Chain A
Amino acid sequence: MSEYVLSVGMEVHAELRTESKMFCRCPVAFGGMPNTRVCPVCLGLPGTLPVPNRAAVQMVLRTALALNCQVPAHSVFHRKNYFYPDLPKGYQVSQYGETNPIGYYGYLEIPKLDGTTKRIKIRRVHLEEDTGKLLHLPGGGSGVDYNRAGVPLMEIVTDFPPDIEDPDEAKEYLVQLRQTLLYLGVCDGKMEEGSLRCEPNISVRLAGAETYGTKTELKNLNSFRAVQLGCMFEKKRQSELLEGGSKVVQETRGWNEQTESSFLMRVKESEQDYRYFPDPDLIPMEFTPEQIEAERAALPELPLAKSTRYQKDLGLSPYDAGVLTADRAWAEFFESAIGQGGDAKQVCNWMNGDFAKLLNEAGETALTSGEATVGKTSKVRPGHIVELTKLIEAGTISGKIAKEVFGDMFTSGSMPSELVKSKGLTQISDPAEVLAVCEEVVRENAGQAEQYRAGKEGLFGFFVGQVMKKTQGRANPALVQESLKKALETQ
């Protein structure tokens, strides 16, 4: 088979985290009874006037700037006309045009495996409204729930020709974009609930060919893995079609999670059929340079920049830095601990190790940002971890005891020093005391001691275990090694 190269354009829809809808004040929520969050405006009843949600416009502006976009001085809303039962008005309010959307000509950097980054160009970031939900009923017919109709929706589209050239890059683009949206607090990023939806445009062409192949659009991808698998599947499907002398048809295909394959949904409509025109009910928006610069200055440090800084300034590995910055609340917790004098590597190890494990066991998947607290069940604050690492560093407690202390402070919220004091967990670092325990253990296990001296050196670990058992794990490990050798040789 000839060699085919992949090109992926990404179209991402993000539901904005506003309290109310885009053009009316119906509340925004997930779930609930169908058709309970609708009003004359979002149903498009005659005589109503839509008014744009200020917070939604700000969120898109913030995202546009975070994605290094240009922002126009003037921006308007358009009507995209088509008939479908999930669209109560007969049109969707959206933003058309090359330089009319709130953001255009931007880019997002994604990390590559070799430690470098790649720039993915972004064509536009625009504001529109979501449609209702169609539910297919058993026994025929469809039911419509308009609760979602009119929810503010942001569309982020990559540029053409596409920069994304393999399935891993497609996944990484989405990972970075999702993290960015979460950092900005504009979307909750729940792919499984559909608040973040990704529709890649996928095409292949012969290696070295200049013109791009016909693309297909993939829908129903509700995880990062699905995006990756979907791109892989389409590359194979399209390459085989071309290799067999057939053509790729421009169509929308659905992704089947179970069979890990795509199926034909519909042949794409052409853009002119949407008959876009400026919405006469909606007043144009204007963005002043002052407003744009104020928003830009207020942007938080974004995940990739943070990760790069952690590696460069704090000496963390790319992996550690990546895990710490994947979630804004997690990164803020880390930074607060460092600010309180914690050692970066030590704090990082405790956070990404025991802390993450305990949070995971408590079922805390979505972490909450702010106040440098993480999770609802955890009582651990940055100060706890800093104190714990200092106790280990000073030799007051062993790493093993520290793990116990961590579990306790996770639920009790007590400071590590208090726990160590009240539970008598201080490390035994007195050489005489440790040696005495070691000698006792050797005496009690004379048979094994005999075998050890006869050359069965593997028994050393057994003696270490016995000493730790006798001291409830409090003996200084380095001292135990040293003292045991002495005790075994002399007795």
Chain B
Amino acid sequence: MGWMSISLDEARHVAKLARIELDGAELMSFQGKLNALLGHFEDIQHLDVAGVMPKPHAVSLSNVFADDVPGACLPREVTLALSAETKAGLHIVPTIIED
């Protein structure tokens, strides 16, 4: 591995943050893929980027805003229909247990 690599534990942690359940073989596979991705960054690291402005976007636009004027919303029955369970106009979710 090069200057930066992802351990199996880190891969497991990322999977957990993304709420993805992976078995051992899948974890190993993702670890490899993530490390390959980081390897690409290592290539970029060799380039001289001194004086180049960071560019967060592919488009060269700035200051695209909307006026603060309220518009239409979705009817409640439409959005509630997206939920597996609803009650009294609320989306029902399992009780949150902090871990």
The interface of chain A, by Cβ under 8 A from chain B, is 18-20, 24-28, 33-40, 43, 51-57, 74, 76, 81-85, 134-137, 140-146, 265-266, 273, 275, 278, 280, 283-286
Partner among A38, A51, A266 whose Cβ is within 8 Å of the Cβ of B65: A51
Q: Are B95 and A136 in contact (CB under 8 A)?
A: yes
In the docked arrangement, what's the CA distance between A229 and B69, Å? 41
Chain B residues near A145 (CB, 8 Å)? 89-90
In the docked arrangement, what's the CA distance between A221 and B63, Å? 36
Q: Are B91 and A19 in contact (CB under 8 A)?
A: no
- Nearest Cβ on chain B to A138's Cβ, whole angstroms: 11
Extra A-B contacts (20), CB below 8 Å, given A40-B74, A43-B79, A140-B95? A20-B68, A24-B71, A26-B71, A34-B89, A38-B73, A39-B73, A51-B65, A52-B64, A52-B66, A54-B68, A55-B68, A76-B56, A82-B17, A84-B96, A85-B91, A134-B96, A143-B90, A143-B93, A280-B58, A286-B62
18 A-B pairs whose Cβ atoms sit less than 8 Å apart in the complex: A20-B71, A25-B66, A35-B79, A35-B90, A39-B71, A39-B72, A81-B17, A82-B17, A83-B19, A85-B96, A141-B92, A142-B92, A143-B87, A143-B91, A146-B79, A265-B98, A275-B17, A285-B62
Q: Which residue of B lies closest to A59 (CB)?
A: B68
Q: Which residue of B lies closest to A84 (CB)?
A: B96
In the docked arrangement, what's the CA distance between A20 and B94, Å? 30
Chain A residues near B65 (CB, 8 Å)? 51-54, 57
Does B40 count as interface, using CB distance less than 8 angstroms?
Answer: no
Q: Which residue of B lies closest to A88 (CB)?
A: B91
Does B76 count as interface, using CB distance less than 8 angstroms?
Answer: yes
In the docked arrangement, what's the CA distance between A140 and B71, Å? 35
| Shortest 5 CB-CB contacts between residues of A and residues of B | A143-B90, A25-B71, A55-B68, A54-B65, A278-B56
Does B24 count as interface, using CB distance less than 8 angstroms?
Answer: no
Given A35-B91, A140-B95, A143-B92, CB of A19 within 8 Å of CB of B59: no
Chain A residues near B94 (CB, 8 Å)? 141-142
The interface of chain B, by Cβ under 8 A from chain A, is 17, 19, 56-59, 61-74, 76, 79-80, 82, 87-96, 98
Q: Are B68 and A283 in contact (CB under 8 A)?
A: no
In the docked arrangement, what's the CA distance between A136 and B73, Å? 25
Q: How many A-B residue pairs have CB under 8 A?
A: 126
- Nearest Cβ on chain A to B55's Cβ, whole angstroms: 9
- Nearest Cβ on chain B to A140's Cβ, whole angstroms: 6
In the docked arrangement, what's the CA distance between A43 and B96, Å? 20
In the docked arrangement, what's the CA distance between A51 and B71, Å? 13
- Chain A binding site: helix, strand, loop or mixed by DSSP? loop
- Nearest Cβ on chain A to B67's Cβ, whole angstroms: 6
- Nearest Cβ on chain B to A144's Cβ, whole angstroms: 4
Candidate in B79, B90, B93 with the most chain A CB atoms within 10 angstroms? B90
In the docked arrangement, what's the CA distance between A81 and B68, Å? 27
Q: Are A54 and B70 in contact (CB under 8 A)?
A: no
In the docked arrangement, what's the CA distance between A54 and B64, Å? 9
In the docked arrangement, what's the CA distance between A34 and B86, Å? 12
In the docked arrangement, what's the CA distance between A445 and B74, Å? 82
- Nearest Cβ on chain B to A274's Cβ, whole angstroms: 9
Q: Are B70 and A19 in contact (CB under 8 A)?
A: yes
- Nearest Cβ on chain B to A434's Cβ, whole angstroms: 64
Partner among B68, B73, B76, B88 whose Cβ is within 8 Å of the Cβ of A53: B68
Q: Are A144 and B91 in contact (CB under 8 A)?
A: yes
In the docked arrangement, what's the CA distance between A52 and B66, Å? 6
Chain A residues near B73 (CB, 8 Å)? 26-27, 36-39
- Nearest Cβ on chain A to B70's Cβ, whole angstroms: 4
Given A26-B73, A35-B79, CB of A54 within 8 Å of CB of B66: yes
Q: Are A27 and B88 in contact (CB under 8 A)?
A: no
- Nearest Cβ on chain B to A55's Cβ, whole angstroms: 4
- Nearest Cβ on chain B to A478's Cβ, whole angstroms: 59
In the docked arrangement, what's the CA distance between A54 and B61, Å? 16
Chain A residues near B19 (CB, 8 Å)? 83
In the docked arrangement, what's the CA distance between A55 and B90, Å? 30
Q: Are B98 and A85 in contact (CB under 8 A)?
A: no
Given A135-B90, A142-B92, CB of A35 within 8 Å of CB of B68: no
Chain B residues near A85 (CB, 8 Å)? 91, 93, 96
In the docked arrangement, what's the CA distance between A216 and B69, Å? 40
Partner among A53, A266, A273, A283 whose Cβ is within 8 Å of the Cβ of B63: A283
Q: Are B62 and A38 in contact (CB under 8 A)?
A: no
Given A136-B95, A273-B17, A284-B56, CB of A144 within 8 Å of CB of B90: yes
Q: Are A285 and B63 in contact (CB under 8 A)?
A: yes
- Nearest Cβ on chain A to B51's Cβ, whole angstroms: 16
Chain A residues near B82 (CB, 8 Å)? 43
Q: Are B89 and A137 in contact (CB under 8 A)?
A: no
